[in-house]
């Protein structure tokens, strides 16, 4: 069965520090991978996506993610966190053909001064 695991429920980082959010997936087909961000009471905004090709993908707001097939991982990184990055982050997996997305339970990011 398809599944996404985000091991960290809540992470707190200092403003200006680096960030890595973990995501592991289980998917039978070639995965399409996504990271979305959700601010309180809001919908989901797409940060970045991986369909194929270069395993290091760049997204909006200075985020990047690396696809590692051998580890079934797609971790999200940012070199320097800003206070406005505080939000809930969701990793999702799908496949070609508009298959439904399967989401992880999310990681809540808090940013302290």
Partner 1 sequence: DAGVTQSPTHLIKTRGQQVTLRCSPKSGHDTVSWYQQALGQGPQFIFQYYEEEERQRGNFPDRFSGHQFPNYSSELNVNALLLGDSALYLCASSEGTREQYFGPGTRLTVT
Positions that interact with partner 1 (CB under 8 A): 4, 34, 36, 41-46, 49, 90, 92, 96-106
* 43 vs 53 by CB, closer to partner 1: 43
* 102 vs 111 by CB, closer to partner 1: 102
* 82 vs 105 by CB, closer to partner 1: 105
Residue 28 backbone phi and psi in degrees, to 5: -75, -35
Beta-strand runs (E) in the chain: 3-5, 10-14, 19-21, 24-26, 32-38, 45-50, 56-58, 64-68, 73-78, 87-94, 102-103, 107-112
CB of 51 to partner 1, least distance (A): 8
Going by the DSSP 8-state scheme, the letter that residue 51 receives in this structure is -
* 28 vs 97 by CB, closer to partner 1: 97
CB of 47 to partner 1, least distance (A): 11
Q: The tokens 């808090």 sit on which residue?
A: 110
Sequence-ordered alpha helix ranges (H) in the chain: none
CB of 73 to partner 1, least distance (A): 17
CB of 58 to partner 1, least distance (A): 15
């Amino acid at each position: 069965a398809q599944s996404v695991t985000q091991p960290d429920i809540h992470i707190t980082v200092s403003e200006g520090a680096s960030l890595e959010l973990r995501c592991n997936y289980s998917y039978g087909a070639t995965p399409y991978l996504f990271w979305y961000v959700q601010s309180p009471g809001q919908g989901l905004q797409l940060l970045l996506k991986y369909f194929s090709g270069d395993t290091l993908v760049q997204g909006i707001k200075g985020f990047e993610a690396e696809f590692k097939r051998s580890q079934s991982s797609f971790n999200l990184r940012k070199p320097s966190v800003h206070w406005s990055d505080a939000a809930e982050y969701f990793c999702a997996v799908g496949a070609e053909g508009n298959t439904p997305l399967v989401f992880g339970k999310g990681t809540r990011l808090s940013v302290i001064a």
